[in-house]
């Protein structure tokens, strides 16, 4: 997958910016706060139909403006071109169009133009709360599988309704919560599929992570990734029974029944994939407790390289790489290894504060853009 061009109007600090993209590496150079990251965010917006940084539509709107528009043209590995447009006006619903046809369900766009993103905010994946790691696995699987995305959307819908009932009836007699029964079935059905898909994903992803990590470091460090479930004590990536959807369904039903009293007391659903966790390790040790800052950075880059390989295989389409201010914090060895990976990874968009990086990655399919005050000053081929 390649982005041929993109145009931003009233998006963040870009009043009207257009880029004709190189098929290889696109380096965006400029000082901090000039609009480099905003360009990457706009590219991701066309792929994901929303901000990859979690901002809402009104937040990304330029100050003093009442609408924004992003237009782009993607070309698949098979040569098929698709024009994509995202537009938002104050007081109106956002619209997404594919080849000028309005998309009714934004979820239909997810996965059509696969991307792998690495922003400074993504350090939370290894350093932050369980929700940050769930967000990581959900985004990967949502781009790879329409059925997973459907189950995730439905699970969240059922969870909101179930929590609303629990909150409204908080502290009442447990036998008065019969209205939960119908929602329990939906929670179990979609939740079991989500857990099963996550375990299946980790079974193959673990090997990809180890391979990617080995290419970044010279030390004999072994990364690991494990699933910690609130439904079953059988967590990890190797438990055969734990991967069976029927077994997960049965265990979910039991645990949900056992925790109903506690849920009634606190007014929320306490078990399910929305409370599960991913555990990252190096040589068997929890990286949140024992890893150095450099090891955290290496682990995160390895995660993204493994994500690239996974999506490329599952979507039979080469994902685009969006890397924001990654190289400034890497040593020479890790920088060289990452550049070697990017040289074979298809199209990439990279932000940097200096031009030195361009001397390393310049080539026939590379292009450099200088960004200042939300404007492209010039480009170098």
pLDDT in tens, 221-237: 899 999 999 997 645 44
Q: Which of 208, 213, 215, 249 lies closest to 231 in space, CA to CA?
A: 249
Burial class (CB in 10 A: 0-12, 13-18, 19+), 258: exposed
Quote the pLDDT of residue 345.
Answer: 87
With b for 16 or more beta-carbon neighbours within 10 A and e for fewer, the 70-109 pattern comes to bbbbbbeeeeeeeebbbbbeeeeeeebebeeeebeeeeeb
Q: What are phi and psi of 62, to 5 degrees?
A: -60, 145
Residues 202 and 308 in one domain: yes
Strands ordered across the beta sheet of 95-98: 14-20, 2-11, 67-75, 81-89, 95-98, 101-102
Residues 267 and 368 in one domain: no
Q: Give how far Cα 135 sits from Cα of 139, 152, 359, 371, Å.
A: 6, 11, 35, 30
Q: Which of 282, 297, 316 is the last residue of a domain?
A: 316
- Residue range 64-82: average pLDDT? 96
> The domain containing residue 349 runs over which residues?
1-114+318-381
Residues 269 and 145 in one domain: yes
Quote the pLDDT of residue 333.
Answer: 79
Residues 48 and 66 in one domain: yes
Whichever domain contains 146, its CATH number is: 1.20.1050.90
- Residue range 297-309: average pLDDT? 95
Q: Give how far Cα 290 sits from Cα of 100, 231, 293, 294, 361, Å.
A: 51, 27, 10, 12, 34
Alpha carbons 248 and 188: distance in angstroms, whole number: 9
Residues 107 and 127 in one domain: no
Structure-block tokens of residue 225: 């990734």
Residues 89 and 158 in one domain: no
pLDDT in tens, 121-165: 999 999 999 999 999 999 999 999 999 999 999 999 999 999 999
Total domain count, the chain: 2
Residues 291 and 160 in one domain: yes
How many separate helices (H) and strands (E) can be counted in the chain?
Answer: 13, 15
Task: Give the position of tokens 């609303």.
Answer: 164
Q: Is the pLDDT of residue 45 over 90?
A: yes
Task: Give the position of tokens 């480099």.
Answer: 36
Residue 327: CB atoms within 10 A of its CB come to: 19
Q: Which of 253, 266, 249, 250 lies closest to 174 in space, CA to CA?
A: 266
Percent residues over pLDDT 70 in the chain? 93
Quote the pLDDT of residue 239.
Answer: 43
Residues 266 and 154 in one domain: yes
Q: Which of 297, 316, 335 is the last residue of a domain?
A: 316
Whichever domain contains 12, its CATH number is: 3.40.50.300
β-pairing, 81-89 vs 67-75, is: antiparallel
Residues 30 and 85 in one domain: yes
pLDDT in tens, 172-221: 765 556 778 889 999 999 999 999 999 999 999 999 999 999 988 877 88
Instruction: State the DSSP code for 206.
Output: H
Residues 312 and 330 in one domain: no
Residues 181 and 294 in one domain: yes
Q: Which of 282, 316, 350 is the last residue of a domain?
A: 316
Residues 98 and 188 in one domain: no
Q: Is the pLDDT of residue 329 over 90?
A: no
């Amino acid at each position: 997958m390649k982005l041929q061009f993109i145009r931003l109007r009233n998006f963040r600090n870009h009043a009207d910016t257009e880029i004709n993209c190189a098929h290889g590496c696109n380096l965006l150079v400029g000082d901090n706060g000039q609009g480099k990251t905003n360009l990457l965010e706009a590219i991701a917006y066309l792929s994901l139909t929303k901000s990859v940084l979690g901002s809402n539509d009104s937040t990304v709107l330029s100050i003093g403006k009442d609408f924004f528009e992003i237009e782009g043209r993607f070309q698949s590995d098979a040569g098929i071109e698709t024009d994509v447009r995202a537009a938002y006006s104050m007081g109106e619903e956002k619209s997404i169009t594919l080849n000028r046809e309005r998309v009714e369900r934004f979820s239909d766009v997810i996965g059509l133009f696969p991307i792998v993103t690495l922003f400074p905010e993504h350090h939370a994946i290894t350093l932050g709360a369980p929700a940050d790691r769930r967000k990581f696995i959900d985004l990967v699987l949502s781009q790879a599988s329409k059925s997973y995305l459907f189950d995730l959307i439905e699970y969240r819908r059922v969870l909101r309704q179930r929590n609303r009932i629990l909150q409204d009836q908080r502290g009442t007699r447990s036998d008065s919560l019969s209205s939960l029964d119908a929602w329990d079935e939906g929670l179990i059905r979609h939740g079991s599929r989500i857990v099963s898909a996550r375990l299946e994903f980790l079974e193959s992803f673990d090997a990809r992570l180890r391979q990617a990590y080995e290419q970044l470091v010279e030390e004999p460090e072994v990364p690991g990734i494990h699933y910690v479930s609130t439904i079953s004590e059988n967590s990890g990536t190797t438990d055969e029974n734990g991967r069976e959807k029927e077994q997960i369904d049965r265990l979910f039903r039991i645990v949900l029944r056992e925790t109903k009293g506690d849920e009634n007391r606190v007014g929320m659903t306490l078990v399910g994939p929305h409370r599960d966790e991913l555990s990252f390790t190096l040589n068997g040790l929890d990286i949140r407790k024992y890893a150095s800052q450099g090891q955290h950075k290496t682990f995160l880059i390895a995660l993204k390289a493994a994500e690239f390989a996974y999506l490329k295989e599952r979507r039979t389409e080469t994902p685009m790489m969006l890397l924001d201010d990654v190289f400034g914090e890497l040593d020479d060895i890790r920088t060289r290894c990452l550049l070697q990976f990017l040289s074979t990874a298809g199209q990439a968009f990279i932000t940097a504060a200096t031009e030195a990086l361009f001397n390393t990655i310049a080539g026939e399919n590379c292009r450099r853009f200088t960004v200042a005050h939300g404007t492209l000053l010039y480009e170098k081929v």
